[in-house]
Chain A
Amino acid sequence: MKQKLRQYKAWLYLLPAIVFLGIFMVYPLLDVVIYSFEEGFNFVTQSSRGTGLFNYSYVLHDPYFVQALKNTFLIVIITVPVSTGLALLISLALSSVKPLRNLFQTVYFLPYVTNTLAVGLVFMVLFKKTAYTDGMVNLLLGVFGVPSVDFIDGPYWAKLLVMCIYTVWVVLPFKILILTSALASVNPDYYKAARVDGTRPSRIFFRITLPLISPMVFYLVITGFIGAFKAYSDEVALFGTDLNAAGMNTMVGYVYDMLYGASGGYPSYASAAALILFLIVLTITCINLMVSRRSVHY
Chain B
Amino acid sequence: MKITLDHVTKRFPNRNKKIHSDVIAVNDFTFEIPDGKLIGLLGPSGCGKSTTLNLISGLETPTSGRIFFGDTDVTDVPAENRGVGLVFQNYALYPHLTVLDNIMFPLGNLRGSEKLTKEQMRDKAMAVAKLVQIDELTERRPKELSGGQQQRVAIARALVKMPSVLLLDEPLSNLDARLRLQTREELARIQRETGITTVFVTHDQEEAMSISDLIVVMKDGLFQQMGKPQDVYDIPDNLFVAKFLGTPPINVFEGTVRDGRLFLGETAVLPVHDLAMGGEPVGEPKNVFVGIRPEGFIPAEDGALALTLRKIEVMGRDTSVVASHEALTTPTLRAIVASDAPVYESDGIVRFDIKPSKLHLFDRDTEARIAFVTD
Taking beta carbons and an 8 Å cutoff, which residues of A are in contact with B? 187, 189-190, 192-200, 203, 207-208, 211-212, 214, 297-298
B58, A211: Cβ atoms closer than 8 Å: no
Contact A198 B109 (CB under 8 A): yes
- CB-nearest residue of chain B relative to A204? B109
Q: What residues of chain B lie closer than 8 Å to A189, measured between beta carbons?
A: 88, 90, 92
Q: How many Å from the CB of B100 to the closest CB on chain A?
A: 14
Q: Which listed residue, A195, A200, A203, A211, touches B96 by the CB 8 Å rule? A: A211
Q: Does B106 contact A (CB under 8 A)?
A: yes
CB distance from B208 to the nearest CB of A (A): 23
Interface residues of B in 161-182 (CB under 8 A from A): 161
Q: Can you list 5 contacts pairing A with B, beta carbon distance less than 8 Å? A: A194-B105, A196-B58, A212-B96, A298-B95, A298-B143
- The reply to whether A208 and B94 form a contact with Cβ atoms under 8 Å apart is yes
Interface string of B342-363 (1 = CB under 8 A from A): 0000000000000000000000
A189 CA to B94 CA, complexed, in Å: 10
Contact A192 B105 (CB under 8 A): no
- The total of chain B residues at the interface (CB under 8 A) is 23
Complex Cα spacing A203 to B94, Å: 13
Q: Is the CB of A190 within 8 A of B92?
A: yes
Known interface pairs A197-B80, A198-B80, A298-B141; A192-B109 also in contact (CB < 8 Å)? no
Indicate whether B59 reaches chain A with its CB closer than 8 angstroms: yes
In the assembled complex, the Cα of A131 lies from the Cα of B215 at a distance in Å of 84
CB of B90 to closest CB in A, whole Å: 6
Residues of chain B touching chain A, judged by Cβ–Cβ distance below 8 Å, are: 57-59, 79-81, 84-86, 88, 90, 92, 94-96, 105-106, 108-109, 141, 143, 157, 161
Q: If the complex has contacts A195-B59, A197-B161, A298-B143, are A190 and B81 also in contact, measured as CB distance less than 8 A?
A: no
Q: B92 touching A196 by the CB < 8 A rule?
A: no
Give A189's nearest chain B residue, CB to CB.
B92
Partner of A187, one of B59, B86, B92, B141: B92
B173 to nearest A CB, angstroms? 14
Q: Per a CB cutoff under 8 Å, which of A193, A203, A212, A297 touches B108?
A: A203
Judge whether A196 and B84 touch: CB under 8 Å: yes
Given contacts A199-B109, A203-B109, contact A193 B86 (CB under 8 A): yes
Set B92, B95, B143, B161: member contacting A193, Cβ < 8 A: B92
Q: How far apart are the CA atoms of A126 and B335 in the complex, in Å?
A: 86
Given the interface contacts A195-B79, A195-B80, A198-B80, does A190 sit within 8 Å of B108 by beta carbon? no
Residues of A within 8 A of B109 (CB): 197-200, 203
**Cα distance, A193 to B157, chains bound together (Å):** 10
Nearest opposing residue in chain B for A212, CB measure:
B96
Q: Is the CB of A196 within 8 A of B141?
A: no
CB–CB A190/B94 < 8 A: yes
B105 touches A197 (CB 8 A): yes
Give A123 Cβ to nearest chain B Cβ, in Å: 41
Distance in angstroms from A296 CB to nearest chain B CB is 8
Q: Is the CB of A192 within 8 A of B88?
A: yes
Residues of B within 8 A of A199 (CB): 80, 105-106, 109
B92 touches A192 (CB 8 A): yes
- Taking CB atoms, residues of chain B closer than 8 Å to A208 are 94
Whether B80 and A193, one on each chain, are in contact in the complex, defined by CB atoms closer than 8 angstroms, is no
Residues of A within 8 A of B88 (CB): 189, 192-193
Q: Nearest chain B CB to A185's CB is how many angstroms away?
A: 13
Q: Is the CB of B81 within 8 A of A198?
A: yes
Contact in complex: B96, A297 (CB < 8 Å): yes
For B54, give the chain A residue with the smallest CB separation.
A192
Contacts of B96 in A (CB 8 A): 211-212, 214, 297-298
Within 8 Å CB of A211, what residues of B? 94, 96
> Is A196's CB under 8 angstroms from B80's CB?
yes
Which of A187, A197, A297 is B106 in contact with, Cβ under 8 Å?
A197
Q: How far is the CB of A295 from chain B (nearest CB, A)?
A: 10
Please, how many angstroms separate the alpha-carbon atoms of A190 and B59 in the complex?
Answer: 13
User: Which residues of chain A have C-beta atoms less than 8 A from B86's C-beta?
Assistant: 192-193, 196
Which residues in B have their C-beta under 8 angstroms from that of A298? 95-96, 141, 143
* CB-defined contacts of B92 to chain A, threshold 8 Å: 187, 189-190, 192-193
* Bound CA–CA A276/B157 (angstroms): 53
Distance between B135 CB and nearest chain A CB, rounded to angstroms: 21
Q: With contacts A195-B80, A211-B96 known, what are 11 further pairs, Cβ within 8 A?
A: A189-B90, A189-B92, A192-B86, A193-B92, A194-B105, A196-B79, A197-B80, A199-B80, A200-B109, A211-B94, A298-B141
Distance in angstroms between the alpha carbons of A275 and B136 in the assembled complex: 53
Chain A contacts for B85, CB-based, 8 A = 196
Which chain A residues border B84 with CB–CB below 8 Å?
Answer: 196
Residues of B within 8 A of A196 (CB): 57-59, 79-80, 84-86
Which B residues lie within 8 Å of A198 (CB)?
A: 79-81, 106, 109
Contacts of B161 in A (CB 8 A): 197
When C-beta atoms are compared, the residue in chain A nearest to B85 turns out to be A196
A29 → chain B closest CB, angstroms: 39
Contacts of B141 in A (CB 8 A): 298
Q: How far is the CB of B145 from chain A (nearest CB, A)?
A: 13
